[in-house]
Amino acid sequence: MSKLVIEGVSRTFAGVRGGQPVQALQPVDLAVAANDFITILGPSGCGKSTLLRVVAGLEAPSAGRVLLDGKAVTRPGPDRGMVFQSYTLFPWLTVAENIGFGLRERGMPERDRNEIVASYVDLVGLKGFASHWPKQLSGGMQQRTAIARALANDPAILLLDEPFGALDNQTRGLMQELLLGIWERRKKTVLFVTHDIEEAIFMASRVIVMSARPGRIKSDVPVELPHPRHYTLKTSPEFSALKAQLTEDIRIEAMRTAQTQSA
């Protein structure tokens, strides 16, 4: 049975000041197997973030439904951990307190919490920074904390909305390896939204390419590159072939977006 099922989910935004309503997402169907790493690739404004927010329960679909482990999603919950593109650490909490936030909301006593928090601080390589405030951390470290915060809750699925989008290229590469390393060791169902083709291939066991707005699934490309993956994989011929194929796909969509915007 699929871990996550998206059934005919569409989203239409009401028109601004009596204007025409805007369809952000055409009906989308997608089934995600347990422990799969899915990347959703598409040009900006294609509705890929909207789709993720619907899965998270932060936005209601205009039609269709989302099932996680057979249960319909109606509102956000700790079974769907999310990492945002913007830095969303709670600035008044330390790194350790941020990671323990979900556990605390669940009412877990502090002693049990500390042990789990320490293991996740370790996992994302932030030993020695546990009692720092978020503002004292670099962007990469903040996003590592955000990943640890989402994972510490042990969610059924991890949702990431362009989590490395605001980072510089080198940091982004390191973060990709870090997250992939965690996934290879711990196995988790992951939905990862990005507009970066290389990132989409490198991370994924399956790339979902979305069309220009209104978004729909354009192609579904399995990535059968071996694990564990190392950054050198990005220069291999198999990787390049996939990249060429997806670049072509996404280029057409990006051009269509540019045309609708200039029209």
Partner 1 sequence: MLRPLHPVPPGTRTVLGIAFFVLFVAFWAWITLGGHVNRIFLADPLQMLGDGWRLLVEDRFWLDILITIWRVFGGFVLASIVAVPIGIAMGAWKPVEAFLEPFVSFARYLPASAFIPLLILWAGIGELEKLLVIFVGSVFQIILIIAVKVGSTRRDLVEAAYTLGATDNGIVRRVIMPANAPEIAETLRLVLGWAWTYVIVAELIGSSSGIGYMIINSQSRLATGQIIFGIIVIGLIGLLSDFAFKALNRWLYPWSLA
State yes or no: residue 135 binds partner 1 (CB under 8 A): yes
Q: Which amino acid is at 35?
A: N
Bridge partners (DSSP) of residue 23 are 12
Nearer to partner 1 (CB atom), residue 6 or residue 212: 6
> Cα–Cα distance between 254 and 248 in angstroms, integer?
10
Residue 80 binding partner 1, by CB under 8 A: yes
Residue 32 Cβ vs partner 1, minimum distance, rounded to whole Å: 18
* # residues contacting partner 1 (CB under 8 A): 30
Binding flag, residue 84, partner 1 (CB under 8 A): yes
Work out whether 91 is an interface residue with partner 1 (CB under 8 A): yes
Could you tell me which of 82, 93, 102 has the C-alpha nearest to residue 146? 82
Within 178-197, the residues that bind partner 1 by CB under 8 A are none
Q: Based on CB atoms, which residue is closest to partner 1, 68 or 246?
A: 68
Output the CA–CA distances (angstroms, integers) from residue 162 to 37, 116, 200, 243, in the order listed.
Answer: 14, 26, 10, 19
Instruction: Give me the phi and psi of 39, to 5 degrees please.
Output: -110, 140
Does residue number 75 form part of the binding site for partner 1 (CB under 8 A)?
yes
Instruction: Tell which one of 42, 61, 102, 140 touches partner 1 (CB under 8 A).
Output: 102
CA pair distance 26, 12, nearest whole angstrom: 9
Site for partner 1 in 42-71 (CB under 8 A): 56-58
Q: At how many degrees (to 10) do helices 169-186 and 139-152 cross?
A: 20
| Positions in the binding site for partner 1 (CB under 8 A) | 56-58, 75-78, 80-82, 84, 86, 88, 90-93, 101-102, 104-106, 133-135, 146, 149-150, 153, 159
